[in-house]
Amino acid sequence: MITLCDNLESFHDGELPPDELARMKEHVDTCRYCAEKLQALRALDRLLTPPLKISARDISAAVIAALPAAADAELSHRLWRGWWKVPALVLASCAAFAICVETGLLPSRTYSLAAELAAQSQASQLSSLLFGKTADGDEELLALMFKGEGK
Amino acid sequence: MALLRQDQDLEALRGALEGDTERFAELVRRHQRGVLGFCASMLPYGAGAEDAAQEVFIKAFKSLENFRGESSFSTWLYRIAFNHCCNIKKSTSIRRTDSLDELSSHAREQAVGRLDEPVSHARPELDALAAAMDRLPAGYRALIALRLQGQDYKAMAEAAGLTVEAVRARLRRARLILRRNLQHFFPPKLSA
């Protein structure tokens, strides 16, 4: 259960709503524990308030003077920030190409050469069947080609 | 009053977004004391607070487009300042500067100034206070620093990315730690 004593720091920091503030003021006047704690909080505040000498110098001129250099640095930082993406993209493209070739999604140079040779040998075979010397088996193949499987 | 200030900030911000550096200078002048005080409370012995504050404003200028107006401009600035001071503390804890030559010119001036002035003899509580603040975790220290700049719990919660209840609890805990570490400076009955 939250008691009035638990609200002491909020009271000290001016964070209590007006109705609770009045109740708390009355409470602090009568509660010795809260009165002492409040004194301790105020003492700590006094100790903290001038923590270190803060220069009263206006820094706006220095900030404005530093802005162009900061803008240049930001621009070059932005330009160079993604430099690694270029070689990474090249490497990734090479890897993707190699994978496609290996898996047969793209014809490789050696594959197309072999296919061309095979087509050429098929064409010469067919031409020899049609116009030149033929082996026994080849005649059967020709018959199959012209009549179909229904023979 | 606060609303009027926010309106003035938004107006200056619009000008700054259009590239009007004079409007941004206006914003700097309006918030420099708070940011400077915050940095002085966040950094060990307040060294380099002015440089840090300048860098905070430069960072803010670079990311003005990212300011969505969900919180006040000062809260947004304190958030940048908090992250910046945490980064400074992180980098200095990784690479401790052994020589004054390694410090920036202003930080060097401040450090030399501190060596010259007899602070440690005349105001021992300042040294003890700086040491006690240094021993606080960064999150707790930021809340104390924000409170010193007169920020309310809601603004502190927005700046630190916490709920109001978490701010209340952490602020209480931070004060307890500080009181314990600074008990010699309190009258006996207040030091508990």
Size of interface A-B (CB pairs under 8 A): 103
User: Which has the closest alpha carbon to B171: A39, A111, A10, A3?
Assistant: A10
What ipTM is given for this predicted complex? 0.70
Distances B39 to A5, B88, B139, B142, B172 between C-alpha atoms, Å: 33, 10, 13, 9, 21
What residues in A contact B46, CB-CB < 8 Å? 51-54
Q: Which of residues 123-152 of B touch A (CB under 8 A)?
A: 125-126, 129-130, 133, 144, 147-148, 152
CATH numbers and ranges of domains, chain B: 2-190 (1.10.1740.10)
Instruction: State mean pLDDT over A28-51.
Output: 85
Residues of A in contact with B187 (CB under 8 A): 43
Q: What is the mean pLDDT of each run of 10 residues along chain B (192 residues)?
A: 74 85 89 90 82 92 86 91 89 57 54 45 70 88 90 91 92 91 72 52
Mean of per-residue pLDDT scores for chain A: 79
> Residue A49, SS3?
coil
Nearest to B25 among A60, A71, A74 (CB): A60
Which residues of chain A does B36 touch, with a Cβ-Cβ cutoff of 8 Å?
54-55, 59
Contact B148 A48 (CB under 8 A): yes
Per domain, the residue ranges of chain A are 4-48, 107-151
- Of residues B29 and A53, the one with the higher pLDDT is B29
Residue B95, Cβ neighbours under 10 Å: how many?
A: 8
What does the radius of gyration of chain B's CA atoms come to, in whole angstroms?
Answer: 18
Q: Which residues of A104-141 are buried (b: 16+ CB within 10 A; e: fewer)?
A: eeeeeeeeeeeeeeeeeeeeeeeeebeeeeeeeeeeee
User: Which residue in chain A is spatially nearest to B16 when comparing CA positions?
Assistant: A64
Per-residue pLDDT tens digits for B136-190:
888 899 999 999 888 999 999 998 889 999 999 999 999 999 988 888 777 666 5
